[in-house]
Structure formats: C-alpha cells, structure tokens
Amino acid sequence: MNPIDPRIHQVLDGEIPREALPQDLRRVVERLESAAALLAAAPEGRSVAERVLARLRRPARSPVRRLAQWLTAPHPVTLRIRPVWSLALAATLVLLMLLPEERSVPVLGEHEGIAQFVARFPGAHSVQVVGSFNDWRTGTIPLEDRDGDGVWRAVVVLPAGAHEYMFVVDDERWVPDYSANRFVEDDFGRENSVLIVRPVKG
C-alpha cells in the first residue's frame, strides 16, 4: 500500500492551500473529496461497513432453486473419443455392413423339397430357370450372380418328383443344364435337363 503524501493531509486539514500542490497531487485530492462526498450522501446509519455486511448476509439460495438454475443454464458438452474406441466403432459398422442379409427360411410342405439351380454364364445380363414346375413361363424364377463371377444361383421350393427344366439366358437363349445327371428329349428336338426333387419330410 502506497503512503499518502503528507502535503495531501495538510490540504485536507486546511493547513495549506490546494494551489500549493503540484498538479498530480491536486487530482488525488479531488478524488478523495469526491469519495468523501459520496459517503456523506449515504443514508444515516448505513456506513460502508454496514452495507458490505448486509450484502454478505443475504440468504443463500435453496438447493431446489440452485438445481433449477443449473438445469436451465446452458452448459458446454465436449465428447472425447479415444483412437482405440474410434477404430473399434468403425470396425463394428463395417462388419454390420458386410454381414449377409438374413433370408427367410421357406416353410416346406409334406411333399415338397428344395431345388438348387447353379449355372455358369460369364457375361450374361440375366439368367432364369423354366420348366415343368412353372409351365415353362419366363420371368418367374430368376437366378442371381451376387459377386459378379459369372456363376448364377437360385434356391427354389418344388413339389417332390421329377422335373424337366432349362435355363433362359438374356431372355433369348434356351440352354440345358449340362451338369444335370439326366436328360430327356422334348417335342422340339431339344434336350431338357431332369431334376429329381426329394421331399424333406419323411
């Protein structure tokens, strides 16, 4: 704390005139007189100390009010993800994307079985199977080449027994299944493949 120049005391006590002080000390005297005037204008019985103590004695806010104020006030939120957890999360998302889609399991009747059709037609745009089981109608049983390797597949539920069939490639070429074990000539001079479907039950 800096001591007050004794000449300031002398001016405030009226011992020397204010004009006897240098300019910087005159400004100090003016500030002190302004402060004294403010204190003198305060209500009687309310000194500076009393006003400070009255402010300190304010009742504390209740816990409910403090909680309500905390809930309504905005708070910054910072999310920090460690690199290991980031990699684990990314790997999980990739794995979920690569998992094969769940396929509904067909419900088989007592006299039905499952037929698997597999044919290799590289460069084909579409392959379907037609036969005695769908009246040789196209557009009913398409095969799929999911990985683009030229191998087309389809799994179909058919009645148990012998069925004649052929593949239709790109809606134009009718081709027998050369991997079949049996063939039979049709009325048009072509060979149809023969598939034996055995019932799953019994």
pLDDT band at 83 (very low <50, low <70, confident <90, very high): low
Report how far apart, in Å, the C-alpha atoms of 140 and of each of 32, 117, 137 are: 103, 14, 7
Instruction: Give 110-169 pLDDT, tens digit per residue.
Output: 788 889 999 999 999 999 999 999 999 999 999 999 999 999 999 999 999 999 999 999
Helix/strand number for the chain, H first, E second: 5, 7
Q: Classify the phi-psi angles of 156: left when phi > 0, otherwise alpha if psi is within -120 to 50, otherwise beta.
A: beta
How far is C-alpha 15 from the chain's CA centre?
82
Would you state the pLDDT for residue 28? Answer: 82
Q: How much is the mean pLDDT over the chain?
A: 80
Share of the chain above pLDDT 70, in %: 76
Residue 28, H or E segment: helix 23-41
Domains and CATH numbers, the chain: 1-75 (no CATH), 112-197 (2.60.40.10)
Q: Per-residue pLDDT for 58 more than 70?
A: no
Instruction: Give 93-110 pLDDT, tens digit per residue.
Output: 777 777 665 555 566 777
Report how far apart, in Å, the C-alpha atoms of 148 and of each of 103, 144, 145, 151 are: 20, 9, 5, 7
Q: Which amino acid is at 40?
A: A
**Tokens, residue 76:** 């910054």
**Tokens, residue 201:** 């039950």
Would you state the pLDDT for residue 93? Answer: 75
Would you state the pLDDT for residue 65? Answer: 80
Would you state the pLDDT for residue 36? Answer: 73
Comparing 43-47, 72-76, 170-174, 178-182, the range with the smallest average pLDDT is 43-47
